[in-house]
Structure 1
Amino acid sequence: MADLSGTLNGAGASSQEAAVQAWIAGFQSQYPDVTVNYAPEGSGAGREQFTSGAVPFAGTDAALDEEEMAAAEEACGAPAVNLPLYIDPIAVPYNLPGVDNLQLGPETLAGIFNEDITNWNDPAIAEDNPEAELPDLQITPVHRSDESGTTENFVEYLAAAAPDVWTHEVSGDWPSGLTGEAGAQTPGVLQAVDAAEGTIGYTSAAAAGDRTTAAIGVGEEFVEYSAEAAAAVVENSPLAEGRAENDLALELARDTTESGNYPIVLVSYTVVCTAYSDAATGDLVKAWVGYVASDEGQQAAADAAGSAPISPDMQSQVQGIVDSIQVG
């Protein structure tokens, strides 16, 4: 397919934008006659565009659900599959001058975002941080205003790790009964966290940059996010049950107590059809996903976004699925 040409359009998760830009640069260096466009409008928007047939691939931080899979099959004329090609911790950035090494257990973190814990000198935070000088300052939790895969992954963690505290339905939409402060997409959350002391949010670690972030309680330790710690929890997670053949959606081990695992992890999927009636589009999708899953593609994402490369076993599974995509 060295003579590939044309335009490939995708849309979806803003969390993987830095990785996608690196993938585009690497892919287009191999295929200079191909133009790849990706609109980082959020996971929900990407899934909507894919399931309506508006784009031939999408990025999403949550695998398509049963209803979306049915819509995608109708749009594709064949089943769609979720391929986990981007592994990224979800960081918890905070703005609290003088507190550089914040530690938060699962129940404490859930209590903050559930607005049960409202001041930074709350006893629960103090218990997690016995050596910190915590200020008498109101906490302002910041959440996404738009439907977001990052939100869905974050609250899925809260529900699994602190079920007695976080009792809301797991969804890409923030619970309507909670106020806090809202920011549009990843940049909006970070702008709100940066704008005022006392704020705390959640975002793709790739986007968090050099901001101070909380270490999260796992078992008997507090674990800071890293590509290695995110990869570790993914390795310990089985495939989701009840999925179609070749679908690689994962059942993430959110409540793990394994040492060195960082459980607030975002697995961003590339969603594709298993058949494309237009041969040119199908060839472009196959070449694109093959590059993204390759050693070179995964390293490009790691260099640009600090993500964790998928395992060799997952790479081979993805490549087998790509090879099986029917075109024309």
Structure 2
Amino acid sequence: MRNGRSKLAVLAAVPLLATACGGGGGDTGDGSDGGGGDLSASLTGAGASFPDPLFQDWIYTYSNDVQPGVSINYQSVGSGAGVEQFLEQTVDFGSSEEPLSDEDLAAASEARGCEAVQFPVVFGAVVIAFNNPDLDGLVLDAETIAGIYSRDITTFDDPAIAELNPDMELPGDEIVPVHRSDGSGTTYVFSHYLSTEVDSWASEYGEGKELDWADGLVGGQQNDGVAQGITQNPGGLGYVNQSFAQEAGLSVAKVVNEDGNPVAPTLEATIAASEEADIPENFQFAIDDIGGEGYPIAGSNWIFTYTCGYEQAGADAIIDFWTWALTDEGARELAGELGYAPLGEGLTDRVVAELEKTNSENAAGDSGADEGADS
């Protein structure tokens, strides 16, 4: 059931002024002010493939036009590997579609000697995609999606799907479900949705970055591997981030939300879903029970840093880059163009304040961290 949630406005069309922490050298408008930045650092990050198209464009613009002295290498290895590498301290920042658990935070603190920092940077939709233009706009609900992935529903003309699509001529093709074979935040968002909506799914499969899938499914590495699995298998159907579906030219389903509305995964529907999120101070949340005009399979992407252990130049670059990505008008517009919903103004202020905790405890907590860290 839907509950009373505080609404956080997420207005992709309304830019924010880059006022916090320098904002990547100031508001660049279109993100191309010709450079002039004075930072110098080389950063590495790893994690979710869900936001990778956006992250790569952000990094390119920032390193070429905002802070040419900053090099950022983000590896799209999946959320599971991103969390693992962050906890192993082999990267400067991690990324996942699932926030760090209390156990992860405790492990990070013990290993680093100081607290970890986590904050959301963007919202996105997980779409149900297929490689058949005649099926674009096919209506599915949580029960039919769960039935497809549990192999209780094996053809597109199954009565359960036909009931939701009385005006569509459905083929009798066999459905070939495609899933992530690596540890994946996209899988977490997808399986969390099904677990909250379908009791039988919750009891048999549950939620997580990796699942014990039913027999007869096809696995793919990262979002682009699932997209490839969809296109290469007749009857292929899979869950991917909206941006990957757009890039691959895949057809997508409308999904029935909590209010019974079949909703297509548009940017506006993702924004509407993100407004349903009740976001606590520790930024550990999920987007559940989406109604109205919201698309129901939606999630966020989190970035992880530490409050100590960085050389100061690296910490300055981390804070500056993510502040720029969150507040610059051009960066926010780019997110919208790729199908991601930027954070609303109030949430952005909260996130920037959290981000600025990066390396804030360095003088007190640098034992066991980088010996060259500069307080």
TM-score, structure 1 normalization? 0.92
- Partner Cα separation in structure 2 for residue 17 and residue 165 of structure 1: 29
Counterpart position of 1:299: 333
- Greater CA deviation, 288-297 or 217-226? 288-297
> What are the equivalent positions in structure 2 for 1:175-190 lying under 5 Å apart?
175-190=212-227
Counterpart of 1:231 (choices 253, 271, 284) is 271
Amino acid at match of 2:339: G
- Partner Cα separation in structure 1 for residue 324 and residue 110 of structure 2: 27
- Partner Cα separation in structure 2 for residue 169 and residue 46 of structure 1: 22
Is 1:206 aligned with 2:251? no
Is 1:36 aligned with 2:72? yes
User: Which structure has the bigger radius of gyration?
Assistant: 2
Post-superposition offset of 1:177: 4.0
- Partner Cα separation in structure 2 for residue 208 and residue 161 of structure 1: 24
- Partner Cα separation in structure 2 for residue 96 and residue 37 of structure 1: 36
Counterpart of 1:215 (choices 244, 247, 254) is 254
Counterpart of 2:297 (choices 250, 260, 264) is 264
State the secondary structure of the residue aligned to 2:317.
helix
The verdict on how the C-alpha distance between 1:196 and 1:277 changes in structure 2, with shifts beyond 3 A counting, is: closer
CA RMSD in angstroms, aligned pairs only: 1.8
State the secondary structure of the residue aligned to 1:59.
strand
State the secondary structure of the residue aligned to 2:189.
helix
State the secondary structure of the residue aligned to 1:10.
strand
Post-superposition offset of 1:269: 0.8
Counterpart position of 1:138: 174
Counterpart of 1:7 (choices 42, 66, 70) is 42
- Partner Cα separation in structure 1 for residue 250 and residue 148 of structure 2: 19
CA deviations 1:173-195 (Å, max 9, x no partner) are: 13244431111111111111111
State the secondary structure of the residue aligned to 1:266.
strand
The verdict on how the C-alpha distance between 1:197 and 1:179 changes in structure 2, with shifts beyond 3 A counting, is: closer
Contact 1:120 1:137 in 2 (8 A): yes
Post-superposition offset of 1:32: 0.9
Contact 2:184 2:210 in 1 (8 A): yes
Post-superposition offset of 1:280: 2.2
What is the percent sequence identity of the aligned residues? 32
- Partner Cα separation in structure 1 for residue 292 and residue 122 of structure 2: 22
CA deviations 1:192-217 (Å, max 9, x no partner) are: 11112211100000110131100001
Aligned residues: 320
Amino acid at match of 1:187: D
Q: Which ranges of 4 or more aligned residues in structure 1 deviate by more than 3 Å?
A: 176-179
Contact 2:117 2:357 in 1 (8 A): no
Counterpart position of 2:81: 45
State the secondary structure of the residue aligned to 1:11.
strand
- Greater CA deviation, 272-281 or 310-319? 272-281
Counterpart position of 2:191: 155
Amino acid at match of 2:231: D
Counterpart position of 1:243: none
State the secondary structure of the residue aligned to 2:73.
strand
Runs of 5+ unmatched residues, structure 1: 241-245
Counterpart position of 1:26: 61
Counterpart position of 1:319: 352
Post-superposition offset of 1:140: 0.9
Post-superposition offset of 1:165: 4.3
Contact 2:287 2:299 in 1 (8 A): no
